[in-house]
Structure formats: C-alpha cells, structure tokens
C-alpha cells in the first residue's frame, strides 16, 4: 500500500519536538507500506530526504510560533496550495492519504485529492479547530468563524476515518454527528527511549541544580501555554524561602523574551531558561527532573489536549503537575502519579507539593505509577500497532469491495 502522509510540521528524532508522525510513518513502513511524507521547512527550496524508509518531501513554506496571526494564516494557505499541487503532480499510484492537523487547512489538501484524484483519506485531529483559536480569541470575525466551521464539518464528512488524539476531541467530533467513523489513538509514550533513571551527577552540575527538587517545563512558550503560572510559583517559592526548589523552562516561542524579562525583574534565581531542546537534550533534562509541569490557559477546549510533554514525562517516570481540567487531570489523579492545581492558586500548589518534598518514598511511588501508566496505556509499540491495524482494515475493505465488484462483473458476463 502507498500512503501519502501530510503534516505541515513533521519532525523527526534529530529535530526534536513532536515526533508522533515520525513514529506512525515508520510503523507503516515496517508493516510493508510505502510512505511519502509531505511537509514544510523554513527554507526557500524543495528538499527530499529518506529517513528510516520514509520518503520525506520538504516544501518551502515558512512558519514560526512567533509569526503574527496574518503570517500564520498565509503560511497555512500556502502549504495547502503547494502540498496539493506537489502531490497531484509528483506522487503517483496513491492508495490512501493520511492528513494530520493542525492547521485545519491540511484537511483541504486531502479533500481535494479525494475530489479530483479519487484518493480516500483519513483525517487526524490533533486539536479541535476552529474551536481552539475561537476560544483563545485568535479568530473573532463571525463570518470567518462560520466559514471555518463549515470547512471542519466538510472535512469530517468527506474523510473515510477520523483519528482523534483524546476522548475530549472525540467528543467534540461526536457533537457534529461523525461518531461512527471516529477512533481514538492518543499521543505516544516512547517507553524504549525514556526510562526511569537515577540522576547523573554530571547532569546536575550541568543544569546547576545539585541535589535540589527540580520542576521542569519543556515545550512551546506561547500565550496559550501560560508560563506565567510557573513564574508565579517560582516567585512564591522565593518568598517562602524554599531554597530546595528549582524550576527549569525549556522551549521557544513568542512569549519567551517577555517571560525572561519578568524573571530578571523579580530576580528569580530559582528559575532557569535553557531554550529549545532536541530529543537527546530532553532526555538529559528529564534525568535531573523530579516533577514535570504542564500548563495551559484556562479554556475548555484546551482540556481536550494531548500534549507530547505529558507522554514523554510519564515514560521517564516523572511526577506530573497540571493546571487545567480534562482527561490528563483525570489520568494523573486516577493513577496517582501527580496532581492538579487551578491557575492562580499558588497556595494549593505548595500544599500538594509538600508531601513529595518531605517523603522521598511517596515521590518514588508516584514516579513508578507514571511509568506504569505509560507502559500499559500509551507505549509506542501498543499504539503504533493499533495505528497499523486501522490501515490493514482499509486494505481488507478495499479487497472486499474489489472482490464484490469482480463477482458482479462475472455475473453480468455469464448472463
């Protein structure tokens, strides 16, 4: 089977960042499929790469988290047009298209391939668009909202299957009456790469944390990520004279400069910004981390998120702290591997953290629970196998249809 995999932000282990699509594409290759990934990069030229059997086509469409809303929209539109034209012209004999959002416009490429090239497609929902940007205030124009909702519904309607990354996303799709074609395949914990490890002395020296209790954040640093919450906790920790507590923030984004200035103005010497980290560096950071913190703005749509940082953290066996409700909060509470604290309730944060600071055994137990959750529910081997089964079902259905068509033709000939 030949699959075209469309993902505007495709990353691999060398790049770092979210590499779910790499895992899934590789699993298809290992199952015998030919996979053509169509993505973008911040260069002015087309580039081809073959990595672990995956054919990767990089189209010249620039994008960065620091872009203005207009530049983001332009990037989305350009990738939609260029990806469709590139695939239609250059990739032949396609059996199936797999398109992963965001942005929603990636689904338009797959939709047009189905309309004009008769190629069936699966659509992966990584965020509920356009509901997310609407709730976050990025999209305000009523007409634009209407257009995007119509686009969302049309993409879902024309998709042969819809893959949701969380129960909340599946529920959002269900409200539009597409429950029958929706399946949940959550984000992935790489339990082979990340492990529970003893802190290495060389790493504690590298980050300057010594034997302190380390709370780490790694990921995008944009408005939606609400990193101010972490700095507020650091400020409170300093005022409480909690000298045994350190915060490390790894990542890049539009809010980074402002947050650095805030940290400097308040002389938060218990906070360290270390910039974007690739996968190898994230593993090194997690080695010195006691607790991982996942923060977002307090918006209902963000409760459906399936953040990569959470799945890496539980694979590495880390106490998890979240500040928004939803399925991740329910997971860590039911599996006793972390706690939830509402935004702006710093007092509650310190009350819940204190037992783990005072009782090493309690911390170790929570970390072991996190690793157990990763292994039993979200391991790479488990979820990639589930993913491949979805494609095998497509092959079976296609063979069944072809067989049925052949029987009908044969019956007509005999008649």
Tell which CATH architecture fits domain 2-188: 3-Layer(aba) Sandwich (3.40)
Q: Is the pLDDT of residue 232 over 50?
A: yes
pLDDT at residue 249, rounded to an integer: 98
pLDDT at residue 306, rounded to an integer: 92
pLDDT at residue 413, rounded to an integer: 40
User: Which run of H or of E encompasses 388?
Assistant: helix 380-414
The mean pLDDT value for 109-131 works out to 94
Q: Label residue 395 by pLDDT band (50, 70, 90).
A: low
Q: Are 37 and 22 in contact (CB under 8 A)?
A: no
Q: Are 319 and 337 in contact (CB under 8 A)?
A: yes
- The pLDDT tens digits for 35-78 are 999 999 999 999 999 999 999 999 999 998 777 888 888 999 99
The mean pLDDT value for 393-402 works out to 61
Torsion angle of the four alpha carbons 72, 77, 82, 85, in this order, in degrees rounded to the nearest 10: 170
Long-range contacts of 176-181 (CB under 8 A, 24+ apart): 176/152, 181/156
- The domain spans of the chain are 2-188, 201-377
| pTM for this predicted structure | 0.90
Q: Distances in Å between the alpha carbon of 293 and those of 197, 209, 225, 266, 331?
A: 19, 17, 11, 21, 14
Q: CA 237, CA 291: separation in Å to the nearest integer?
A: 15
Q: CA 22, CA 293: separation in Å to the nearest integer?
A: 25
Report the SS3 class of residue 338: strand
Question: Which one has a higher pLDDT value, 359 or 73?
Answer: 359
Residues 6+ apart with CB under 8 A from 55: 34, 35, 36, 37, 48
Residues 6+ apart with CB under 8 A from 144: none
pLDDT at residue 65, rounded to an integer: 74
The mean pLDDT value for 379-394 works out to 90
The mean pLDDT value for 146-168 works out to 94
Lowest mean pLDDT among 153-157, 286-290, 326-330, 399-403: 399-403
Tell which CATH classification among 3.90.870.20, 3.40.50.2000, 3.40.50.620, 3.40.50.10800 matches the domain 201-377: 3.40.50.2000
Q: Are 252 and 275 in contact (CB under 8 A)?
A: yes
Q: CA 271, CA 235: separation in Å to the nearest integer?
A: 9
Look at residues 186, 115, 197 and name the one whose alpha carbon lies nearest to residue 157: 115
- The pLDDT tens digits for 288-327 are 999 999 999 999 999 999 999 999 999 999 999 999 999 9
Q: Distances in Å between the alpha carbon of 121 and those of 97, 117, 129, 162, 401?
A: 4, 11, 18, 9, 17
Q: Is 15 exposed, middle or buried (0-12, 13-18, 19+ CB in 10 A)?
A: middle
Are 2-188 and 201-377 the same fold in CATH?
A: yes
Written as six digits, the tokens of 5 are: 């995999």
- The pLDDT tens digits for 243-252 are 999 999 999 9
Report the SS3 class of residue 58: strand
Q: CA 354, CA 360: separation in Å to the nearest integer?
A: 11
């Amino acid at each position: 089977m030949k699959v075209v995999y469309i993902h505007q932000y495709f990353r691999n282990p060398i790049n770092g960042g979210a590499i779910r699509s790499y895992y899934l594409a590789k699993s298809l290759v290992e199952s015998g499929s030919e996979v053509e990934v169509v993505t973008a990069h911040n260069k002015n030229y087309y580039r081809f790469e073959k990595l672990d059997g995956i054919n990767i086509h990089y189209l010249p469409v620039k994008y960065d988290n620091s872009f203005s809303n207009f530049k983001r929209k332009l990037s989305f539109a350009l990738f939609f047009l260029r990806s469709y034209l590139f695939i239609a012209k250059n990739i032949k004999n396609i059996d199936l298209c797999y398109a992963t959002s965001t942005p929603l416009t990636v689904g338009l490429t797959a939709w047009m391939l189905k309309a004009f090239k008769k190629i069936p497609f699966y659509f992966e929902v990584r965020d509920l668009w356009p509901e997310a940007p609407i709730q976050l205030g990025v999209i305000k124009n009523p007409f634009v909202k209407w257009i995007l909702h119509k686009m969302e519904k049309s993409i879902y309607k024309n998709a042969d299957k819809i893959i949701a990354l969380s129960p909340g996303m599946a529920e959002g799709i269900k409200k539009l009456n597409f429950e029958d074609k929706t399946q949940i395949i959550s984000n992935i914990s790489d339990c082979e790469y990340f492990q529970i490890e003893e802190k290495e002395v060389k790493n504690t020296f590298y980050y300057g944390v010594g034997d302190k209790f380390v709370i780490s954040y790694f990921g995008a640093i944009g408005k939606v990520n609400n990193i101010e919450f972490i700095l507020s906790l650091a400020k409170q920790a300093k005022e409480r004279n909690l000298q045994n507590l350190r915060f490390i923030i790894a990542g890049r984004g539009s809010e980074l400069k402002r947050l650095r200035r805030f940290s400097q103005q308040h002389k938060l010497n218990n906070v360290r910004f270390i910039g974007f980290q690739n996968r190898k560096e994230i593993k090194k950071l997690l080695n010195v981390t006691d607790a991982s913190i996942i923060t977002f703005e307090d918006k209902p749509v963000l409760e459906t998120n399936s953040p990569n940082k959470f799945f890496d953290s539980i694979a590495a066996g880390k106490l998890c702290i979240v500040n928004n409700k939803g399925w991740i909060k329910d997971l860590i509470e039911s599996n006793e591997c972390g706690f939830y604290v509402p935004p702006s309730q710093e007092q509650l944060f310190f009350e819940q953290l204190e037992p783990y600071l005072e009782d090493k055994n309690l911390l170790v137990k929570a970390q072991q629970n996190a690793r157990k959750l990763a292994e039993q529910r979200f391991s790479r081997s488990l979820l990639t196998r589930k993913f491949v089964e979805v494609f095998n079902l497509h092959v079976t259905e296609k063979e069944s249809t072809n067989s049925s068509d052949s029987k009908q033709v044969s019956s007509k000939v005999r008649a």
